[in-house]
Structure 1
Amino acid sequence: MFLTQFRLNTARMGTRRLMASPQSLHAAVMASFAEMPDHQGDGPRVLWRLDQRSRSEVLLYVVSPDRPDLTHLVEQAGWPTTGGWQTKPYGPFLARLAADDTWAFRLTANPVHSIRRHDAEPTKRTVHVTPRHQLDWLLKRQTDAGFEIVEKTERRPDGIPDAWHEVVVHNRSDLAFRKRNESDARAHKVTLTRVTYDGRLRVLDPHALRRTLTSGLGKAKAYGCGLMTLALAE
């Protein structure tokens, strides 16, 4: 496994086109591999995420089973003479994960659930729209994903304990674009919501967490969702 970081040049038209179209950016990421990655089941796959730290600083992160070549992205949306990308082997970091470790994390995800109004109606995938429900979506998946979000407890002036999870849900974006299938010349509309979670977690099951970090969490992985990254907790 490899972890890659690439900074996009926001002054370029190519960058603006890619940022406006998750389908185009997905295609550009997949074009980084000479052989199309063969994803099977819940095994390792290509994941990507955009982090916009400021108006002029946008970073693309890619986790992949094979080492990517982003030359075409440098030419289209980077700095062709001075820019580049950084790729590091991910395996040594994944191997060091241990139970009870605490890490800062970032995850961009598509928090959806399936609903139906009555038993005879087929289920419909619906997005969670409030930060409270978006957080609940993550909390319901954390144990199976191999971690728990750190809880903090303090006593209020009246002596009653007050507990909350150390996570912030922010940067919601509602996307709509046209997708054209290879087997169908017609394009259909795709809508999805992406939100970002920043917080601290504790490792429960290192094996399950490794699977989460390399196969993603939730839906819409082709469109920049599902990639969780870890950093040293302050």
Structure 2
Amino acid sequence: MMYLSRLRLSRDPKVAALDVLLDPTPGGDRLDAHHRLVWTAFAGDPQARRDFLWREEGQGVFLVQSSRPPEDSPFFETPEVREHAPDLRAGDRLSFLLRANATRDLGGEKRRRVDVVMNLLHGVPKAERNRKRMDLAAEAADQWMTGQGSRAGFAPERIEVQDYRTVTLPGYRGRRRGEPRFGILDLTGQITLTDPDAFVQKLTQGFGRAKSFGCGLMLIRRA
């Protein structure tokens, strides 16, 4: 059983006074702060591992998929919670929304893992990167989703890139040149299920990496 919840920041003035800490400027520190914030709704067991996926919706709203319902938190209004147990069959067509840190393993002795869009941009002259950025993001996203589908029981029909951005890892304070960054793709589109059991398993685990930073949660509805 999974749960899908909407968490909305409390309007209590005591919480609003912490706004600069709870909702800092966009970047890695903001994602880190939001992750810690969402944790407050699942912090009943201090030994528990993270068993939820989340995404920021803006204006203090977060969508969370979890294996247990969220608890009351002093930072959020009463959570809106519903059971999330999709009844799926092979051949079902689903529309989806996904925010993902999409990577691939280059193989070799060191098994280096790279962001799929950065990897394509690396071979483009710097003067042309801005112009080709979204086209290459679409190409990389299509290839990555095809690979995901082959392992997770679906076939992509249509993949659209809504946005691609890079974020500095939280806590980095060094020079901009050489700073550690990761990419975030905002994807939407349509898929057809080939193996519903494999798909639901992957839906529970999340897609891609950087799940602590608001990536991996795929929202679905029937097409």
1:205 corresponds to 2:206: no
Give 5+ residue unaligned stretches, structure 1. Answer: 40-44, 75-82, 151-165, 181-188
1:149 corresponds to 2:156: yes
Q: What is the aligned-residue identity percentage?
A: 24
1:2 corresponds to 2:8: no
TM-score of the aligned structures, taking structure 1 as reference length: 0.69
Structure 1 residue 3, shift from structure 2 partner: 0.6
- Name the counterpart of 2:122: none
- Name the counterpart of 1:124: 112
TM-score of the aligned structures, taking structure 2 as reference length: 0.73
| Cα separation, partners in 2 of 1:27 and 1:208, compared to 1, 3 Å | same
Bigger helix fraction: 2
The one-letter amino acid of 1:86's match is E
The one-letter amino acid of 2:93's match is T
Q: Within 5 Å, which residues of 2 pair with 1:95-110?
A: 96-110=87-101
Equivalent residue of 1:201, what SS? strand
Give aligned pairs, total.
Answer: 187
Q: Which of 6, 13, 35 lines up with 2:45 in the alignment?
A: 35
Structure 1 residue 65, shift from structure 2 partner: 0.9
1:174 corresponds to 2:180: no
The one-letter amino acid of 1:71's match is S
Question: How far apart in 2 are the matches of 1:73 and 1:135?
Answer: 38
CA RMSD of aligned residues (A): 2.7
- Name the counterpart of 1:115: 106
- Name the counterpart of 2:141: 134
Structure 1 residue 47, shift from structure 2 partner: 0.8
Equivalent residue of 1:89, what SS? strand
Deviations 1:120-175 (A, max 9, x none): x623222122221122111111121121112xxxxxxxxxxxxxxx2211221211
Bigger strand fraction: 1
Give 5+ residue unaligned stretches, structure 2. Answer: 118-135, 173-178
Structure 1 residue 204, shift from structure 2 partner: 1.1
The one-letter amino acid of 1:98's match is R
- Name the counterpart of 2:128: none
Equivalent residue of 2:82, what SS? strand
Deviations 1:47-80 (A, max 9, x none): 111235xxxx564111111111253332xxxxxx
| Cα separation, partners in 2 of 1:199 and 1:101, compared to 1, 3 Å | same
Question: How far apart in 2 are the matches of 1:18 and 1:8?
Answer: 16
- Name the counterpart of 1:223: 213
